[in-house]
A and B are shown apart, each in its own frame.
Chain A
Amino acid sequence: MRGAGRARGGAAGLVVAVLVVLVLGVAAAFLVARLLRREVVVTTARPSAGATSSASPRATTSAGPASAGVGEPIGFEGCPSDGDGGDRALNRLKNRGPGGTPRDVPFDSLLALGWPDGVAERSRSRWPVGAAARVAPLERLLVRTEGYVARARLSGPESTNCHGEDARRRDYHVWIVGAPGTDRRQSVIAEMTPRYRAEHPSWTVARLGTLSRAGELVRVTGWLLLDQEHPEQIGRTRGTIWEIHPVTAFEVRRGSRWVPLDSARDARRERR
């Protein structure tokens, strides 16, 4: 009898212990999940010029994967979202639609982001196993960063825009730097695509040039994108192959406020 009682007591103790462990495990998992969701962007070692980085970019986002309708690739005036050739997966990313709430990321963090080995100058369909999975969390980020316009110009015809020759079917490349007067070798390229340019007629090269010459602080919002096609330009005309592409919003600092470029008057005129 006494033995049976001890056995029953032992079994009950075991059940209680298992329950406690389960509860603690669930609580720990919940806490870890909460902490991970708060993590924003983790910078990695900066790659040397012209070389890929062995550092692994990693990021988590509370935004999670782009939900339907948010950041979905969108065509423009007959040109499908994957363009007319080239790296179609890359083209789809370049033609993403508006996103949700942007994540503020310091300019230097963007510049310091690394990327997996074996992706540069290689079509995404031929990336090494696991590379896309390491890049994808970052590319799901709608980022917003502050900086200065170093230069802006109209790009050439390219597959993402179905090789449209007309100026309105091409991108603007905007070189963003961390401080006025900084060379483009330390820049992050932000691209204004035809679809967004059509919605923002005041986004012009001339206007961006004025901002550059005036050394005005700007805030750029857009999708983070690894444009793997031009690593050879690092240290020449760009500081990284990470881009903000497409740009979804562009603001100018006016006093203590951020004003959309569409409604921002020239600062010099405002001072008069």
Chain B
Amino acid sequence: MTTNPSLTIASMRERLRSFLSKVWEPYRSVPLLGWLLGALVAVGVEQLVGLPLARILGLTKIPALFGTVVILDDPLLIPSALLFTFLIYILPIGLVARFTTPITNRIAAKLMDYPLIVTAVIHLVLMYAVLHIWGDISDYRVLVARLAMISIILTLSLNVVNGYMGEFSCSHPGFMSIGAYVASAFTIVLFVSENRFGEALLPESMGPFMFPLALILGGIVSAVGALLVAIPSFRTRGDYLAIISLAFMFIIKSLFENLEVVGGARGISNQPNYATLPIVFLWTVISIWIINNFVRSTMGKALNAVRDGELAANAMTVNTRKTKMAAFLFAAFWAGVAGGLFAHVLRYINPDTFGIRKLAEVLAMVYFGGLNSVTGSIVGAVGLSLISEALRPLDIYKWIIIPIILILIMIFRPTGLVAFTEFDIERLFQPKEETSEGAEHVTA
């Protein structure tokens, strides 16, 4: 009797799959609330016993990003890092999520009776609490979290153009830099006393309140910049936008390089520290909410219609030109806001930051996460941010590995990890199973 090796591999894979689905089974009914509760407990546990546990496991400090950075830094510590991640994150989240399922489901069901905003705020507060406690361990975490969230805004806004609208825009770093410079100039001129722009014009205490204004201003200016790209390139479809927008990116870069008033190639620094974790979190939430609102409306779906058949869209009363313009400017606005936040996180920007490498990064996040999908953009932005941090020890080789990952994604999932889905906020918060009250009703 001969055994076919591929058959045994197939059967093993089948067995593994059935094992995993059996393990996963009880978690199907965990609502988002349950996961958040689990995460809250996990970060709480880490706060309390993280450091001693890390020491016991032979780690010098708590692994910053779930052990990903350790993997390349010191391969011998991989088992310890994995064990730490399991004990601190996976185990508590798993246990709490599973054993609170009946309670969280009931609470989630109760929350459905209130307006969506109440439910949303409760979830967001929990989410922020998790993030805050998690970030409390080290400043590095806070920095990574803020940059990842800014990447979410940027990726989403590019997805509007490259995914939902199906055009190919390369000018996002340009829009981002406009937003970054405008917002920086705004806050520095008004609230910071330094050599370049002189004395602060307004009391420093007003700064944080005026910061949203700076960001919005940056967004608006970059939307105006987008108009310069949109007018010539939306007369036709095809590669024009890609070429014109690429040119625009380089023009903007060299504009800032030669603009001595904002520091030229040396860039601009001393931005006040306004882009704190809660502020960035808030802006990310707002951007997700607004962009998701847009792409789920009929006005926003007109973008898909334009992408999948402009002629038919036009014949069905869609003003295709206006739709494309509005979406492009909208995307540029959010890129500008992301740029403004970015400048106030790093508190130093130069024109070189917003070059071809930034473009590659954002494009990678969009195509990695998935076209035409809000979830995909979030996954892509966070995923690639983490991978990028994990690969930091490799230095320049990082830029070989990330493209390889992208190529693999393109081969196996050509539209990205989570493409063409709708992000239904209401469904996100829903209970995942009949509550016991509901069950009682059925039996009674």
A and B physically associate: no
Hey, which bits of chain B sit against chain A, CB under 8 A?
A: none
Hey, which bits of chain A sit against chain B, CB under 8 A?
A: none
